[in-house]
Amino acid sequence: MTSSVVTHDSARRAPASGAASGADVMSCPPGTAPLDAPEGAPSDGDRPGRGARASLGVVSDEELARLRVVPARHPGRIVLAVLVGLLAAAVLWSFVTNPRWEWGVVAQWFFAESIIRGLLETLKLTVLAGALGFGLGLVLALMRLSKSSLISSVSWTFSWIFRSTPLLVQLLLWYNLGYLYERITLGVPLTDVTLVDTRTSDLMTPMLAAILGLGLHQAAYAAELIRGGILSVDQGQLEAASALGIPARDRSLRIVLPQAMRAILPTAFNEIIGLVKGTSIVYVLAHAELFFTVQLIYGRTQQVLPMLLVATVWYVVITSALSIGQYYIERHYSKGAVRTLPPTPLQRLRARFGRRPVTAGAPA
C-alpha cells in the first residue's frame, strides 16, 4: 500500500486528466494522511468517531486512483557504481594488454586434451572426497549429539585426530600405508576364512589415497559445521516433533536438518570451494589432476605464468558455477525462514527490462 512517506508524482504525470491537481496531496503533511491506518490500531481505540477517514477530505477517490509511486533514487549508489566500474576497467585493461601474460599461450592450452583430463580428475576428486567428507560428517555430527557418551566420544576423537594432523601428512600416510602394513587381510575372526588378502600397495592407488586423505580430513570439519547448524535450530521444534510421535530419524532428517541447512550452507560451500582448490595438494602423490598437469607442462615449456593462468581460470570457472548453485540452494532452504523470498537476479532483470511492477505497491 502507499503511505504518506512515499513521493507521489501524480502532479507531474497526470496533469491532463482533470482540474484536481495532485498538489494538494503533497500538501498533506506526513502522518496526517492515514490512507491505510490499520483499523482498530490501539492508538485509535478510545477516540470518538473511529471512522474519521470519511471526514479527511484531502484526497478524493479519483485522485486516489491516479496516485503513482516513484521508487526512491539512490544517487550515492550510482556514483559508487561508476567508480567501481572504472577501477575494474583499469585492472582488466592492464590484464589484457600486458604481453607478459601471454594470452595466446593460455588460449592454446586452455582446451588441450591433457588439461581437460586433469580438470576431470580434479572434479572427480572433489565430488568423491566431498561426498565422503559430508556424508561421514553428517554421521559424525549426529553421533556427536547422541545421548550415548560412548558414541559421542568416538565422534569427538575422530574429529580431534583428523583436525590435528596436517592434511599433507595424512595424504602421505595413506599413500605409504603399504610401508606400515604390508598386506591387508580381511577374514572372519577365529576361523581360517579370508575374504580379502592383498598387498597394500596394490590397493592404495594415488587416487584412493587422495580420496581418503581429503575426504576424512573434510569429514572432521564438516561434522563440526553440521553440528553447529543443528544446534542453531530451536529446541521447540524437536519437542513439538516428539510430542507428535514423529520417529527420531524423521525428526533429524525432516524437521531439524532442513532448518539447519540455512546455517550450514554458506560455510559448507566455503568448504567445498576450498576442497576444489585443495585438491591441488595431491600433486605430492603425482596424481595427474589439473594442477599437477599444468606443472608437468610448464616444466617442459617453461611458460610458467600462462600455464598457471590456465589452471586459475578453470578454478574460477568451477567456483563460479558452485557459487551460482549455492545461491539457488540457499534460496530454496530459506523458504519459510523469510517472509517473502527476494527475487532472483533473473526475475530482477526481467522486472527491470520488462517494465513490470516489482512491488504490489504500484497501482497498475
Interface ranges with other proteins (CB under 8 A): 40, 42-43, 45-46, 234, 236-237, 239-248, 250, 254-255, 258-259, 333, 335-340
- Between 247 and 345, name the residue whose CB sits nearer to other proteins: 247
- Between 84 and 337, name the residue whose CB sits nearer to other proteins: 337
- Between 312 and 334, name the residue whose CB sits nearer to other proteins: 334
Name all contacts of 5-13 with Cβ < 8 Å and 24+ positions apart.
5/30, 6/69, 6/70, 6/72, 6/361, 7/69, 7/70, 7/72, 8/67, 8/68, 8/69, 8/70, 9/68, 9/70, 10/63, 10/66, 10/67, 10/68, 13/68
Q: How far is the CB of 261 from other proteins (least distance, A)?
A: 9
Distance CA 309, CA 278 (A): 17
Q: Which of 178, 186, 181 is nearest to 205 (CA)?
A: 178
- Between 23 and 248, name the residue whose CB sits nearer to other proteins: 248
Furthest CA-CA distance within the chain: 105
Q: How far is the CB of 338 from other proteins (least distance, A)?
A: 7
CB atoms within 10 A of CB 275: 22
Q: How far is the CB of 351 from other proteins (least distance, A)?
A: 22
Judged by DSSP in three states, 52 sits in helix
Q: How far is the CB of 334 from other proteins (least distance, A)?
A: 9
- Between 336 and 363, name the residue whose CB sits nearer to other proteins: 336
- Between 222 and 261, name the residue whose CB sits nearer to other proteins: 261
User: Taking the mean position of all CA atoms in its chain, how far away is CA 171?
Assistant: 28
Q: Which of 115, 120, 122 is nearest to 301 (CA)?
A: 115
- Between 220 and 226, name the residue whose CB sits nearer to other proteins: 226
Q: How far is the CB of 39 from other proteins (least distance, A)?
A: 11
Angle (CA) 305-309-310 rounded to 5° is 120
**Inter-residue contact 110 to 311 (CB < 8 Å):** no
Q: How far is the CB of 126 from other proteins (least distance, A)?
A: 28
Q: How far is the CB of 234 from other proteins (least distance, A)?
A: 8
Query: For residue 303, what is its C-alpha cell?
Result: 611458460
